[in-house]
Structure formats: structure tokens, C-alpha cells
Structure 1
Amino acid sequence: MASKPTEISSSKMFGGFNKRFKHFSPTLGCSMTFHIYFPPSPTSSHKFPVLYWLSGLSCTDENFIIKSGAQRAASSEGVALVAPDTSPRGLNVEGEADSWDFGVGAGFYLNATQEKWKNWRMYDYVVKELPSLLSENFPQLDTSRASISGHSMGGHGALTIYLKNLDKYKSVSAFAPIVNPINCPWGQKAFSNYLGDNKVAWEEYDTTSLISKSRNVSATILIDQGVDDKFLHDQLLPHKFDEACKTAGVPLLLRLQPGYDHSYFFISTFIDDHIRHHAQALNLP
């Protein structure tokens, strides 16, 4: 059973509060931290819709909260931000910290099937455990109105989770997402270790593969991609996803941003557009 989250820090920002929590996760078998940004509340009984943010390789639950500046728009739009960590931590699995793009800080938002990595179940943590935990412990959050976004590995996570759970999320967006991991080095390394050699299983966590099977995707998918991103051509492959969306008739707004790289300087420049994109979907009747 999931433990009740304990507040470990709180900082006021744009009239609301960034709060960090710690809890034991039965799904992952370890303690986990996550952040919530609570906008200023108009009444004591007000409930905020939720935007989940999934961070990228080597990140924690802190990067987005500290660097993105998303709280300004979230405050004015009345959207709560929830930022979980990117992997289990403290399990001391052999090889878990040998590289920055696999293991600790690199959960890829999937459920590992290989015994060694059995605790790497970030998909279930994000889709099932965390929303349940929020619903049970934070009455000011309306988890039935949720959207999802992310960056790089987290963009991959947001898009795959959205496409596999269209009933759970109102909208999706991403910054520089890994959209075709079965065809890039980051994805091939992670999937072969977490999922084994069965490449059919890999397709279940590949956005470009999933979009070709998706039906009833009516909300426009928003993606921002920096043209000067050093990972654009060998790791991210947005053109593959663009082609798949056109073939499947899925509405995609892919914005190629000249001069921008893969960093939070890029994210903070365009984050307000993403918050408004989600606020519009979350506040529809």
C-alpha cells in the first residue's frame, strides 16, 4: 500500500506554492519524491485540474519546477502542475548508475519485463499509482481532469501514455520528444535492457508505432522542437512522427523553432503556450 506523502519543502511563487513530497511507492519498491505546484485558490473548496510533467534523461522532479518558469502561466490559468521523478532510486541494482542514459534517472516511462529491472515500472507509477495517491491525499486537485506533457525522454513518456490512455487525459504536448525510440540509440539501449529482444514489445512504447494504431485522437498534439538541438537528427526524429500523424489523420502542431537547443532555455521560452494549450482542453465542459 502506498504511504501517505510527507511534505518536505514549500516555496511561494506567483501567489501559489511549489511543494515537494516524499512517499513509499509499492509500484517501484522504493521511496519517491514528486513536486506539485498549487496555484492560488479562489475559494477553499476550489479544485484544480492537473497537468503532469515528465522530465528527461538524468533529471529529477526538481528540474522542471526550478527551471521552466511554468508556474506563472499555471497560476493565471488555474492549473496544478505535478512533476514526478524519472526512475526508481536507491535500489542499488548492479549497473543502474553506469551511464546517464540508462537506469537511474532514465526510466523511459515503461514497465520493464526483464527480471533485473523489475522495479522500473514508471508507466504504472505515472498512470496508476500517482493519480490515485493525489486523489486520496489532495482534495484541492481534480485528477479526473488531467493532461500530460514532457521533455525529451519525458516527451516520449507523455505521448505514449496519452495515446494508450485517451480516456484519462484531455490533451498532450511535448518539447523535443524521443518519438521513435525503436530507431534511435537512446531507445534501442533502453528497450533492449528493459524489455529484452522482443521488438514487438518495443512498439508498445514507441510513439510513431502507436500513432499508426490510434483511433479517435481528436485533440491536437502540440510539439515544440529546437532546430539547433544537437539530438534532433539521430535521437529525436520528429519527421517520422509527423509522417505517421499525416498518414493516420491525427492532428499535430509540430513547431520547429529556429536557433533553439535541447535545454530549459528553450522550454522556458515556449512553456506558456503549452500551459494555455492544456488549460483550454482542461476547462472544456
Structure 2
Amino acid sequence: MNIEGEADSWDFGVGAGFYLNATQEKWKNWQMYDYVVKELPAVLKENFPQLDTSRASISGHSMGGHGALTIYLKNLDKYKSVSAFAPVANPINCPWGQKAFTNYLGENKAAWEEYDASILVSKYTNVSATILIDQGDADKFLSEQLQPQKFDEACRNSKVPLLLRMQPDHVRMDFASVGT
């Protein structure tokens, strides 16, 4: 889109869109939530009619894991399951999320809550499948940025089924070796 600053940092812009619909003027065309939930499924259905979209699941890694969790929770009728690998699980309370949300959504904290899985899980509790999070316990971003324990606590408080698998001696980029 050639927006000034979109490629300046790996944790923002083209490196991390956070699968939300931006509301700030500079980023207003970044509508990644709508792209994943509406546009992409329509394109897939049109080009691959053999796909059974009634059996869709969603997954993602890191920032994409954040997106998978929030999109799943807000669209329980569209997805049968969700798997997230080292997700940013509580972006309101981490530097990556705060940077992204401030730039994409502005200062309105209520807007931020609409894209934080640890908040959303208390609003969307009709979860039929166990949510899976795979996380390496040697991840240098575990406590400051990813915070799966906050999502775990929110799930327990809301009685939403979660399988949080902590993988010994794994880091963020080891997700392919742990499997599901």
C-alpha cells in the first residue's frame, strides 16, 4: 500500500498487521480481520468449490496465533477449531500489542478489547472444541510479549476448554517440530 513506515519494523506494519480492522486514518485500508473472515473464504469457495467450508479450522503462529484466537472466538459459527503456536495472547498488556493497537486503533481501549483474546474469551464462551495453544517454555518472549498464562487464566475463569501445551526447551521458531 506504500504507507510511510509500513516496512520499518518487523513487529508492525507489513511484518505484523494483527488481523484487525484499522480505524486510524493512516492505516484505514488495513482491514485484515475482514480479509480473513469475509474476503478470503469467499475467494476460496469460488475457486475451490470442493472445499467444505462448514468444517473449517483456523491456526496461526505468534501474531498470527493472536489473529487465529480472536477470529475463532468472534466467529464460533464459522470455525470448528483453533490452534495457536506461540500466540500473542494478551496484546493489550504487551509492548507489541500496545504499539500495534495504538497505531491501528488509536487510544480507545474499548476498541483494543475487541482484538484481545484474553478479553474476548469471557464474551464468547460457547466454545465447543478445546482451544489448543502450543508454546515453547524457552521462548525469550514468553513472559513479556506472548503471555499465554493470561489467556489460560481467562479461559479457566470463563470455563472455556483450553489445552496449553508448554514444550520443554522450545522457542518461538520451533513450532514445526512439536506438531499437533
TM-score, normalising length: structure 2: 0.97
Structure 1 gaps of 5+ residues are 1-90, 274-285
Give 1:54-133 correspondences, 5 Å limit.
Answer: 91-133=1-43
- Whichever residue aligns with residue 268 of structure 1, its letter is A
Alignment match, 2:116: 206
Q: How many residues are aligned here?
A: 180
SS for the counterpart of 2:18 is coil
| Residue number among 165, 169, 175 corresponding to 1:255 in the alignment | 165
Structure 2 gaps of 5+ residues are none
* In 2, Cα distance between equivalents of 1:250 and 1:230: 27
1:250-276 C-alpha deviation (Å, 9 max, x unpaired): 11110111100010xx221123x2xxx
* In 2, Cα distance between equivalents of 1:92 and 1:218: 41
SS for the counterpart of 1:141 is coil
**Residue 140 of structure 1, CA deviation:** 2.6
* In 2, Cα distance between equivalents of 1:134 and 1:165: 18
Q: Does 1:135 pair with 2:45?
A: yes
**Residue 149 of structure 1, CA deviation:** 0.6
Alignment match, 1:161: 71
When you count strand as a share of all residues, which structure comes out higher? 1
- Whichever residue aligns with residue 110 of structure 1, its letter is L
| Residue number among 80, 85, 105 corresponding to 1:195 in the alignment | 105
SS for the counterpart of 2:9 is coil
Structure ranking higher on relative contact order (CA contacts 8 Å, 6+ apart): 2
Q: Does 1:181 pair with 2:74?
A: no
Q: Does 1:267 pair with 2:172?
A: no
Alignment match, 2:147: 237
Alignment match, 2:54: 144
- Whichever residue aligns with residue 130 of structure 1, its letter is L
- Which of structures 1 and 2 has the bigger CA Rg? 1
**Residue 206 of structure 1, CA deviation:** 0.1
Q: Provide runs of 4+ in structure 1 moved above 4 Å.
A: none
Give % identity.
78
- Whichever residue aligns with residue 112 of structure 2, its letter is W
Alignment match, 1:27: none
